[in-house]
Structure 1
Amino acid sequence: MEWMKELETAKEAAVRAGKAIMEIYNAADPIKVEYKGDHSPLTEADKAANQIIVEALRSGFPQYAVLSEEEKDNKSRLENAYCFVVDPLDGTKEFLKRNGQFTVNIALAYEHESVMGVIYVPVTGDLYYAAKGYGAYKKDSEGRAEKLSVSDNVDTASLRVVASNSHECAQMSELIEKYQFKNLVKMGSSLKGCLIAENKADVYYRFNPTMEWDTAAMQCIAEEAGAIFRQMDGSVMTYNREDSLNSKGFYVINRVENLLV
C-alpha cells in the first residue's frame, strides 16, 4: 500500500517527539517561553519536538521537502511533489495552560494533497493516523487500534459541535447564537478534527485563519474516516503552497446535510 513507509516513520517520530514534550511538560522548572514575530509563543518543547521529527523525516526521505512551523521556510519545496507538513507542537497555548489539549502533527502532501496524516496526543498516548485509501485509525496507549468512522447524525438540534478554545471569533459566536447548540465543546489544537473522525463530534467550523501545518494531518485523518473537509467557500484545501496561510477558514463535517454556513 502506498504511503506505508512514510506513515510508519511519521508515527514513530511523533511518539518520540511527544515523549520529549512530556519531559518538559512534567518538569518542575517553569516552561521557558519566547515569542515569534506574529506574537505566538515558542517553547523549548516546540524546538525539541521539531528537531526529532525533522531529523527522522529527512533521514528516511532525503528526497522529500519539509515544511515545519519551527523551521525557516525553504521555497525550493514548491518544486517538489512530496512535502512533509509538520507542526511539532500544535496547541502551544494549551501546553502552557497545562490542560493537555496539544498534539504533534505530521502530514505528507503529494502534489498539493494531504495523503498521510499522523496526530499524537502526548498526555493520553492516543495516536491518530491515516493514509489515502487506507482508512483512519486510533491507537490508544495500550496499543489497541480501532478503525475510525464519522457519525451519521444530521439532527441539527443534537449536533455535537467543537470550537476553538483559544481563538474565538464573531462568526462562530453568531453561529452558536443562531442554532443554540446544546452539545458544544471548546478544545485546543487538531484534537477537534480527531473528535469528528472518531464519532465523538459532528461538526467543526473554523472561521479564523490557520496555517498549513495546523490542518494537513487532521484533514487526511478526517477524510479517511468519512468526513467532509473544505475551505469556507467550499473549495478544496491544498498544501505545499507559496503562501502557507489558510486565509479562508475551513469546516469539518460528518455529513453534507450539516453544512450550516
Structure 2
Amino acid sequence: MQFKRELELAKTLAIEAGKVILEIYKTDFDVGYKEDQSPLTLADKAANDVIIPRLEEEFPGYGILSEESKDDGLRLKKDYCWIVDPLDGTKEFIKKNGEFTVNIALSYNGISILGVIYAPVLNELYYAVKDRGAFYEKDSHIEQIHVSERTEGLRALGSQSHRSHAFNELMDAKKEQVESILAVGSSLKGCMIAKGRAEIYYRFGLTSEWDTAAQQIIVEEAGGIFKQMDHSEMRYNRVNTLNEKGFYILNHTSSGLLGGLI
C-alpha cells in the first residue's frame, strides 16, 4: 500500500505519545499559557518530543508543522509536510473529561492525504490514507468506517469548549431537521461523523491546520464532506496556518444541509 511506512509510523507514534500523555494525565499537573492565552501543559510538550524527532529521523525530506514546535518556514519548500497536534483538546485534558486526541497528518502539495487520530483515554485509533478508506481500531479490532446515510433526524455535534453564538443560532433555526446536539471535544467530532455516529458539525471560529488536517482525510475517506464555510477546499502547509474561514463537516450532500444551513 502506498504510504504504508508513513501510516505505520504515524500510528505507532500517536499511540506512544498517548501513553506519555496518560502518565501526566494521572498526576496533578501544572497549566501554563501561551502568548495567545491558550493553555499549555507538560503533556503537550512531552507528546511533541515523542513524535517530532522520529518523523525527522525517518522522513528527513518531509517538512513538519507542529503546534508545539517553532516554525522555521522550511516546510514551505517541501511537497510533503507532516502536520501534527501532539495534544488536541488541551482544555479537555485539563478538565479531565477524556475527550482529547493526538493528531498526525501528512499533506502533499497542500492536500491532506494521510491522517491518524488517537484518543488515549478511550484507546480508540482512527486513520485513513487517500483512496484507501477510513478505519477504526480498538483492542485489536479493526473495521472500515463510513458516514451515516441519515437525511432526517440529524445528529449535530457542538464543541465542548468553543461553542459559538452563530452555531447556537444555526441549530435553533434548523431544529426541525436536527434531532439532537451533543457536545464533544477535540477532533473526536470528525471521527464521530466518519464512524456514522453523527451527521453535522459547524465550526465558525478560528482553528489551525493541525486541528483539521488529520480529521479531514478521515472524514473524506469515510464518505463525508469537509469544507471551509465558503464551500472552498481546505489547503495545508500554508504560510498562514490559521483556518480563518471556519469549516463544516457533513455526512453527505443528500442531507440537504449544504445549502440549507449555511
Do Structure 1 and Structure 2 share a fold, with TM-score over 0.5?
yes
Amino acid at match of 1:160: R
- 1:140-198 per-residue CA deviation (whole Å, 9 max, x = no partner) reads 1x11000010011111xx10100111012121011121122331101110000000000
CA distance in 2, matches of 1:134, 1:26: 36
- Residues 1:95 and 2:90 aligned together: no
1:64-79 to 2 correspondences below 5 Å:
64-79=62-77
CA distance in 2, matches of 1:170, 1:33: 28
Amino acid at match of 2:190: G
Q: 2:47: which partner in 1?
A: 49
- Residues 1:215 and 2:219 aligned together: no
Q: 1:61: which partner in 2?
A: 59
In the TM superposition, residue 34 of structure 1 has moved relative to its aligned partner by 1.1
- Work out which of the residue numbers 165, 170, 175 in structure 1 matches 2:165: 170
Structure 1, unmatched stretches of 5+, are none
Query: Which ranges of 4 or more aligned residues in structure 1 deviate by more than 3 Å?
Result: none
Q: 1:200: which partner in 2?
A: 197
TM-score (norm 1): 0.97
Q: 1:258: which partner in 2?
A: 257
Structure 2, unmatched stretches of 5+, are none
In the TM superposition, residue 258 of structure 1 has moved relative to its aligned partner by 2.5
CA distance in 1, matches of 2:191, 2:162: 18
CA distance in 1, matches of 2:3, 2:251: 25
Amino acid at match of 1:194: C
In the TM superposition, residue 100 of structure 1 has moved relative to its aligned partner by 0.3
In the TM superposition, residue 76 of structure 1 has moved relative to its aligned partner by 1.4
- Work out which of the residue numbers 110, 120, 125 in structure 2 matches 1:127: 125
- Work out which of the residue numbers 153, 160, 165 in structure 1 matches 2:150: 153
- Residues 1:37 and 2:32 aligned together: no
CA distance in 1, matches of 2:165, 2:239: 28
- Residues 1:23 and 2:32 aligned together: no
- 1:94-146 per-residue CA deviation (whole Å, 9 max, x = no partner) reads 00000000000000001000000000000011000000011100001x11000
SS in 1 for 2:190: helix
- 1:202-260 per-residue CA deviation (whole Å, 9 max, x = no partner) reads 01111111000000000010000000110000000000000000000001101112222
Percent same amino acid among aligned pairs? 52
SS in 2 for 1:204: strand
What is the aligned length? 256
CA distance in 1, matches of 2:186, 2:72: 25
In the TM superposition, residue 3 of structure 1 has moved relative to its aligned partner by 1.4
SS in 1 for 2:11: helix
CA distance in 2, matches of 1:161, 1:169: 14
CA distance in 2, matches of 1:67, 1:255: 30
Amino acid at match of 2:174: Y
Amino acid at match of 2:31: V
CA distance in 1, matches of 2:179, 2:108: 39
